Chains A and B, each alone.
Chain A
Amino acid sequence: MKETDVIVKLTNVTMGYHTLSHKTDVFKNFNLEVKKGDFVALVGQIGSGKTSLINLICGFNKPLNGKIYVEGQEITSLNNEKLINLRSRLIGVVPQTQNLIPNLTVYENIQLPLVINKYSKSDLSERVVKILEMMNLFNYSEMLVKHLSVGERQLVAVARSFASDPPLVLMDEPTEALDPIMSELVIGFIRGTNLLKGKTLIITTHDKKIMDIAQRIIRI
């Protein structure tokens, strides 16, 4: 595999939570290479470190040891500003907690990363409308997020992660709170973005349907 084909690389990464009295290692000397356009499913028991791994790749947490590269850039040594810049250019994230603002509408929540990253008004509106249509959320666009069900919020979180068209999207259990119909919609959408747009997807999941369509399954 060429070095330029690799979008995410972890070398000898150790992650744990150390306090003065207690040391818990989540995983030790973990190695991973994900190439551009890959669809990777991270599976494992609860507490095995799937979410920690996603947080490390996003740069939300730092590892105890080892190095993490995103698009060839070593992120563990980057300062906060540079990390935020890199994340906003390259990474879309759907965290387990969804991280939506309840008091904003669906439209506003989806446009938030675009506003933050200073997209022009016309480009911004075009992208949001397109993603709302793709996710079947157009009729919800003016609704406040706090009035949506958990499943609908999850759809909004997924839509928001793709709004700025990032090459790499990380999702933490995206279908966990969804009913079968919504789950199909999300799986179809993410599969489409992977096949048609070549997005790299790293998804933590317990959902067999996602495991079935993933190109690689990594157990941690």
Chain B
Amino acid sequence: MFSQLLFKSLQLTKSRSSIYIGLLSIITCNSILLGIFSSSFYILPTIFISFFIIMFMLSSELISSSEYIIEVFSSLGARKKLLISYFCIIFLIIGIIGIILGIMFSIGFYYVVGFLAPVLLSSIGLFNSIIMLYTVFVIILAMGIGTIFGVIRTFNNVTK
């Protein structure tokens, strides 16, 4: 019951998370369309940066709400060590989901562009492969930093 209440408390950010996910979808779709029709892959850095910023904001949002939740729970008698373990698990789960989504997105992007623009793809196949790997790397990095940042902030907060 404790973990149920803790997870339910974290939904404090659900509405804002939806905004970020919505933003992410719009940017992704626009980038794919621009990538196909402008015959240019220079649009890719825009996706990377957008992904990075939005994932980072999402992690920060969860962190700021978790700080309040930790304060309330510990004032009511919850053990800080227990809270630390729960929040580490939560941030790790978010990190893993982010990485999986990042990989799926990258592969999806590669195949969508590849399917719709074969001419474009054949002319810069090697470059596209590098870009795909780079996408995966940046997204993993973004989520990794977000996760580590979250864990450190949580530790700092609860051990004050």
Chain B residues near A (Cβ < 8 Å): 1-2, 5, 8-9, 11-12, 69, 71-81
Q: Which 5 A-B pairs have the closest CB atoms?
A: A88-B77, A113-B76, A101-B9, A116-B78, A99-B72
Tell me if A44 is interfacial: C-beta within 8 Å of chain B.
no
- Main DSSP-derived SS at the A contact region: helix
> A108 and B80: CB pair below 8 A?
no
Is A115 close to B, CB under 8 A? Answer: yes
| A interface residues (Cβ-Cβ under 8 A, vs B) | 58, 60, 80-81, 84-85, 87-88, 93, 95, 99-104, 108, 112-113, 115-117, 121
Is A85 a contact partner of B72 (Cβ separation < 8 A)?
no
| Chain B hits for A99, CB < 8 A | 71-72, 75
A78 to B: closest C-beta gap in Å: 14
> Which residue on B lies nearest to A91, using beta carbons?
B77
Q: Are A104 and B9 in contact (CB under 8 A)?
A: yes
The docked-state distance in angstroms from the alpha carbon of A98 to that of B44 is 47
Q: Bound state CA distance, A108 and B4, in angstroms? A: 10
User: Is A104 in contact with B8, judged by CB distance below 8 angstroms?
Assistant: yes
Q: How far is the CA of A178 from the CA of B44 in the complex (A)?
A: 56
CA distance A104 to B11 in the complex (A): 9
Contact B77 A113 (CB under 8 A): yes
Residue numbers in B under 8 Å from A117 (CB-CB): 77
- Select from chain B the residue with minimum beta-carbon distance to A118: B2
Q: Which residues of B contact A88 (CB under 8 A)?
A: 76-77
For residue A80, which residue of chain B has the nearest CB?
B80
Known: A101-B69, A102-B12, A104-B9. A112 touches B76 (CB 8 A): yes
- With A99-B71, A99-B72 as contacts: A104 and B5 at CB distance below 8 Å: yes
* Distance to closest chain B CB from A108 (angstroms): 6
B72 touches A100 (CB 8 A): yes
Which has the most chain A C-beta neighbours within 10 Å: B8, B11, B77, B81? Answer: B77
For the complex, give the distance between the alpha carbons of A58 and B71 in Å. Answer: 14
- How far, in angstroms, from A115 to B8 measured CA to CA in the complex? 14
Which residue of chain A has its CB nearest to the CB of B78? A116
